[in-house]
């Protein structure tokens, strides 16, 4: 009898240890560790980038936009400033995001206007990416919002990749993500986004992986909306990592100057 | 007229000095837009209507460095050449100064802004763009959140300069008749943006007084105390704006507006505003609503609604904008007013049913 009780206690302790997992400071699972490495590669304290954004509709119509973007993470605060360089009808439009606050500057309006939280879930400048997608791919990373599980190690375009399943820590825009990560460079090669009904809605693929300032970067990304049939291609024209960016850049004053 | 000539000469001199002080190689950006519009006014459902063509060309030049900027625009409307915005900017560590003909847009609400009193409105299009004015505007940044703005408008520009059968006396262009404004604003303070403002100048619309020679139109001296605020509650955007107008020779009156917007998961955006407009001799409360949706990245549909609570007059304003190519946009829509009830009575807005089609090419 005593032996049975002792066995039960041991089983309970083992199950408890397994259930407690990382929340109790135990080692990260393999999937979590891989995702942490991805964040380390993709995330930076600051970034200044010029990108060409090509929006492609389901019937092949294209619109090109050039944007300049600054990102910064400091003092526990995430900041992003975006300005449109072209085409002429949107040139001078600017957007500032400081944590959960967002402001938009439209040259025709001549003033900065706060925009509501729902805009953050919406399309980033008419593209197939949301503002949250941009944040995660930019400075914020994925670990803060998702817990990862390693599904398998497989080949993707002749390179060894980790296949992760990411589940949100809190309910949000997506019910889950599936991510294929280059095992050597820790860069995502493909991300599948599933909506709250579990349907595949978007697929991100990365191309032209290159080494910039000692870190791997995808010079080209494509987000394809599986339901609308539209695509957005982002091409990096220039990028600088971890340069000192004055905090005063991330203010509405910069927007009001028409940057 | 001396102050006007002096002001313009000063601006030209400052613009010249700014231009020559730009470092060699600072790029000059030339741009502009061409607008071609067709408006069909339905005058009588049985007889037909009237077709009008509206063309506009805007040419702009812009040069900017981290310490200064220069911007000038020339507008050609129906073969009439006019100066659009034209100003110089000076940027110092805590101070931005803009001198010249400019738009000084104040307020948090959409289309209707009680605190936006520095530029005269177009009375026939009270929800449209306001006209630029000659001014010097200084923005002093106390820190990243707080800003103090001071503005001087040396030349009074009314919204309406004549009245039927009454001579309107325009104020003499002198420093005594210059207008002034101050504003203290905070942005991003614990999730709130807000400001308080003060304006001292003249009413944009002439009043009529009796004189020994008969009725005379004049512009009453005016003080305006304003405030606005904007915040976000979850996915809901909220704003509030109001102003107390205190003319020298008439009763005080007030205008205020509250509004909200909300985005649905399917991309539909809902906007609602309630506003009370009192102009001293006429007051009314309005509901303004709109539903917007982006259709792909090339089209945007919008249905706007305006309703006067007092007269039960209303208007429906549907519009579809389409991007035809990079820099080329088409807008098609209608302004439909109800008949019978008292009408909207919104400033001097012409309540005639119209359909329109416009093309804008930006370069």
| pLDDT tens digits, B178-198 | 999 999 999 999 899 999 999
Residues with Cβ within 8 Å of residue B293, at least 6 apart in sequence? B267, B268, B269, B300, B301, B302
Residues of B in contact with A122 (CB under 8 A): 263, 267
DSSP code, position B26: P
Which residues sit opposite B226 in a β-bridge?
A: B197, B243
A177, A151 contact by CB (below 8 A): no
User: Residue A116 has what pLDDT?
Assistant: 82
Stated as kind and residue range, the H or E segment containing B13 is: helix B2-21
Indicate whether B138 pLDDT > 70.
Answer: yes
- Give the C-alpha separation, B182 to B137, whole Å: 10
- Give the C-alpha separation, B289 to B5, whole Å: 45
What does the H/E/C string look like for A38-54?
Answer: HHHHHCCCEEEEEEEEE
Handedness of CA A111, A117, A118, A121 (dihedral sign): positive
Residues of B in contact with A88 (CB under 8 A): 31, 33, 327, 362-363
- In terms of pTM, does the model score above 0.90? no
A43, A73 contact by CB (below 8 A): yes
- Output the six-digit token pair for B212: 């020994």
Q: Is A257 helix (H, G, I), strand (E, B) or coil?
A: coil
Q: Are strands B214-218 and B167-168 parallel, antiparallel or unpaired?
A: parallel
- Give the C-alpha separation, A187 to A208, whole Å: 11
Residue B187 and residue A103: Cβ atoms within 8 Å? Answer: yes
Residues of B in contact with A174 (CB under 8 A): none
Indicate whether B7 pLDDT > 70.
Answer: no
Residue of B nearest to A250 (CA): B144
| Nearest-neighbour CA in chain A from B51: distance (Å) | 27
Residue A57 and residue B106: Cβ atoms within 8 Å? Answer: no
- Give the C-alpha separation, A202 to A177, whole Å: 10
For B241, half-sphere exposure in the C-beta direction (CA atoms, 13 angstrom radius) is 24
Give me the residue from A89, A110, A127 closest to B327, CB to CB: A89
What's the alpha-carbon Rg for chain A, to the nearest Å?
21
B259, B242 contact by CB (below 8 A): no
pLDDT band with cut points at 50, 70 and 90 for residue B218: very high
- Give the C-alpha separation, B232 to B261, whole Å: 10
Q: If you search the block for the tokens 């304006």, which residue do you land on?
A: B199
Max distance between CA atoms of chain A, in angstroms, equals: 83
Indicate whether B14 pLDDT > 80.
Answer: no
Q: What is the pLDDT along chain A (259 residues), one digit of tens a residue?
A: 566 666 666 665 665 554 444 444 445 689 999 999 999 888 888 889 999 999 999 999 999 999 999 988 887 788 999 999 999 999 999 999 888 889 999 988 889 999 887 777 778 888 999 888 888 887 778 998 999 999 999 999 999 999 999 999 988 889 999 999 999 999 999 999 999 999 999 999 999 999 988 888 999 999 999 999 999 999 999 999 888 888 889 999 999 887 5
User: Residue A16 has what pLDDT?
Assistant: 53
Which residues sit opposite A5 in a β-bridge?
A: none
pLDDT band with cut points at 50, 70 and 90 for residue B102: very high
| Nearest-neighbour CA in chain B from A68: distance (Å) | 16
Give me the residue from A87, A110, A252 closest to B105, CB to CB: A110
B311, B277 contact by CB (below 8 A): no
Q: Give Cα separations from B55 to B7, B82, B318 (angstroms).
A: 31, 14, 22
Helices (H) and strands (E) in chain B, counts: 1, 21
Q: What is the pLDDT of residues B43-73, one digit of tens each?
A: 766 656 778 888 899 999 988 888 889 999 9
pLDDT band with cut points at 50, 70 and 90 for residue B2: low
Residue of A nearest to B104 (CA): A110
For B231, half-sphere exposure in the C-beta direction (CA atoms, 13 angstrom radius) is 8
A253, B147 contact by CB (below 8 A): yes
DSSP H stretches of helix in chain A: 2-20, 30-42, 118-121, 131-135, 252-256
B193, B231 contact by CB (below 8 A): yes
ipTM, 2 decimals? 0.87
Max distance between CA atoms of chain B, in angstroms, equals: 66
- Give the C-alpha separation, B351 to B339, whole Å: 9
- Give the C-alpha separation, B195 to B185, whole Å: 4
């Amino acid at each position: 009898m005593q032996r049975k009780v002792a066995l039960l206690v041991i089983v309970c302790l083992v199950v408890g240890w397994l259930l407690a997992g990382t929340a109790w400071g135990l080692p990260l699972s393999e999937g979590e560790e891989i995702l942490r490495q991805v964040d380390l590669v993709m995330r930076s304290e600051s970034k200044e980038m010029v990108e060409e954004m090509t929006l492609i509709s389901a019937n092949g119509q294209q619109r090109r936009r050039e944007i300049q973007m600054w990102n910064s993470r400091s003092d526990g605060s995430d900041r992003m400033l975006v300005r449109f360089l072209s085409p002429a009808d949107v040139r001078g439009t600017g957007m500032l995001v400081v944590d959960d606050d967002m402001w938009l500057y439209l040259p025709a309006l001549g003033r900065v206007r706060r925009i509501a939280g729902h805009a953050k879930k919406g399309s980033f400048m008419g593209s197939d990416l949301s503002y949250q997608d941009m944040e995660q791919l930019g400075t914020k990373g994925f670990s803060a919002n998702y817990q990862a599980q390693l599904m398998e190690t497989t080949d993707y375009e002749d390179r060894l990749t980790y296949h992760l399943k990411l589940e949100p820590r809190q309910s949000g825009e997506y019910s889950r993500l599936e991510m294929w990560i280059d095992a050597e460079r820790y860069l995502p090669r493909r991300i599948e986004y599933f909506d709250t009904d579990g349907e595949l809605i978007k697929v991100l693929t990365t191309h032209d992986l290159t080494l910039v300032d000692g870190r791997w970067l995808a010079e080209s990304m494509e987000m394809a909306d599986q339901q609308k049939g539209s695509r957005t291609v982002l091409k990096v024209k220039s990028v600088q990592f971890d340069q000192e960016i004055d905090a005063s850049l991330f203010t509405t004053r910069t927007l009001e100057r028409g940057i | 007229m001396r102050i006007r000539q002096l002001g313009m000469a000063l601006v030209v001199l400052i613009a010249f000095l700014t231009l020559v002080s730009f470092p060699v190689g600072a790029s000059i950006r030339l741009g502009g837009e061409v607008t071609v519009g067709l408006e069909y006014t339905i005058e009588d459902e049985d007889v037909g209507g009237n077709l009008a063509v509206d063309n506009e060309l805007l040419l702009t030049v812009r040069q900017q460095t981290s310490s200064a900027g220069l911007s000038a625009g020339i507008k050609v409307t129906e073969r009439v050449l006019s100066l659009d915005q034209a100003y110089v900017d000076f940027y110092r560590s805590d101070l931005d100064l803009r001198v010249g003909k400019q738009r000084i847009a104040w307020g948090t609400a959409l289309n209707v802004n009680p605190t936006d009193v520095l530029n005269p409105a177009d009375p026939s299009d009270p929800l449209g763009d306001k006209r630029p004015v000659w001014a010097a505007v200084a923005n002093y940044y106390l820190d990243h959140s707080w800003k103090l703005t001071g503005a001087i408008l040396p030349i009074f520009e009314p919204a309406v300069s004549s009245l039927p059968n009454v001579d309107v006396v325009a104020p003499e262009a002198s420093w005594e008749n210059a207008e002034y404004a101050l504003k203290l604003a905070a942005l991003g303070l614990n999730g709130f943006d807000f400001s308080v403002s003060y304006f001292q100048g003249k009413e944009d619309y002439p009043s009529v007084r009796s004189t020994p020679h008969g009725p005379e139109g004049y512009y009453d001296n005016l003080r305006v105390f304003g405030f606005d605020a904007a915040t976000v509650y979850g996915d809901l955007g909220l704003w509030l704006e109001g102003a107390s107008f205190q003319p020298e020779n008439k009763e005080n009156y007030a205008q205020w507006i509250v509004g909200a917007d909300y985005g649905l998961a399917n991309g539909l955006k809902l906007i609602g505003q309630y506003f009370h407009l009192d102009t001293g001799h006429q007051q009314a409360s309005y509901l303004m609503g709109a539903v917007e949706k982006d259709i792909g990245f090339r089209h945007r549909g919008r249905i706007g609604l305006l309703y006067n609570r007092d007269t039960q007059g209303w208007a429906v304003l549907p519009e579809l904008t389409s991007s035809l190519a990079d820099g080329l946009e088409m807008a098609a829509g209608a302004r439909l007013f109800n008949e019978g009830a008292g009408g909207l009575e919104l400033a001097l807005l012409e309540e005639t049913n119209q359909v329109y089609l416009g093309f804008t090419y930006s370069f």
